[in-house]
Amino acid sequence: MKITQKSFGKTAQGEGVTLYTLTNGNGMKVSLTNYGANIVSIIVPDSKGTMADVNLGYDKVAGYEKNAPGFGSFIGRHANRIGGAKFEINGKIYELDKNDGDNNLHGGFTGYNKFVYETESYEDDDIASVEFSRLSPHMEQGFPGNLDITVTYSLTEANELVIEYLAVSDRDTIVNLTNHSYFNLSGHNAGSVLDHKVWIKANQFTPTDKQLIPTGELRDVTGTPMDFRVAKKLGQDIDSNYEPLVFAGGYDHNYVLDISGTDVEKVAEMIDEKSGRKLEVFTDMPGIQLYSANFLTPVEDSKAGAVYNKRDAVCFETQYFPNSCNISSFPSCLLKAGKEYDSVTIYKFSVI
């Protein structure tokens, strides 16, 4: 295991940014930057041993300063949508950025993927880790509480990218952290992922209104195009005349994971039969957002001049349910003052 680092350029404000690359004995490489604690690349072998980057993104920090799609992004203080861009804690209403119509999306106009983080790195025989940390001050983005945040990315010899989120607040607040990497197992520049096969361990999903805010219903996936309990091609039902798919223009839905919630468990899998690559997702969070990049428009300045289009990637965003802070029947993302938020997500790569 080894960690190398090099300059990733300077921000528009002239601040130097570093690129950290973790490499294991199998040749898998994960590159990260302290700008936004973003994942820049994930290079893994196919069934023939050919290496490719399976994570959409940019070659320079300037791309991540814009990054409208959120490629590789560390998302916070609250991932996904909050209806009406407001919530209430202890009788007080907190107003947030309305950056998605009348709603709040991924924390607001300036998400956690737009700050420079303090960094520490660790190497061992079988694991290499880079830890990014910062203080999110009280009322940043409109959220209460000074929140000490740490996100640690670790690469193992089992080709696992382990992400651990830790946070502590000095006031009651809400916290819902995730990663927004866009995966294409054929390679970041390979085009459509509609032939990738997806499996999700979920009997229910949370349908939404036209603004993609959950209604509060937990709907059985049986007999619907939302059912991924048996692996199927992502494109098999994506254009079905089914209201949730019509509203979102494809898959952009939270799945209610069928797990204990006390351990890190396997919750999803994606296979690309063309390359032979397989991605497994493990988490201890109650939900996962399956997003088929429906809103991805041609992106400039992407890696090696690649052109990314709609449905050229898939996101698996482990999370509390969207708008859970306003729907009491959903698992709560409330973090009490002095209590620790601690969650783990693992992206494991292999071949079939």
Q: What is the pLDDT of residues 169-208, one digit of tens each?
A: 999 999 999 999 999 999 999 999 999 999 999 999 999 9
Rounded mean pLDDT of 324-347?
Answer: 98
- Its domain, for residue 344, covers 2-351
pLDDT single digits (tens) 269-315: 999 999 999 999 999 999 999 999 999 988 878 999 999 999 999 99
Band of residue 160 on the pLDDT scale cut at 50, 70, 90: very high
Q: Is 140 a catalytic residue?
A: no
How large is the average pLDDT for residues 125-147?
Answer: 97
Answer yes or no: 317 catalytic: yes
Predicted pLDDT at 80: 98
Q: What is the mean pLDDT of residues 228-253?
A: 98
The model's pTM:
0.98
**Region 126-138: what's the mean pLDDT?**
98
Domains of the chain: total: 1
Catalytic site residue from 106, 131, 160, 180? 180
pLDDT in tens, 119-130: 999 999 899 999
Among residues 140, 160, 280, 317, the one annotated as catalytic is 317
When pLDDT is averaged across residues 89-118 and rounded to a whole number, the result is 98
Backbone φ and ψ for 250, nearest 5 degrees, come out as: 135, -155
**pLDDT tier at 262, thresholds 50, 70, 90:** confident
**CATH code for position 224:** 2.70.98.10
Main-chain dihedrals φ then ψ at residue 304, nearest 5 degrees: 50, 25
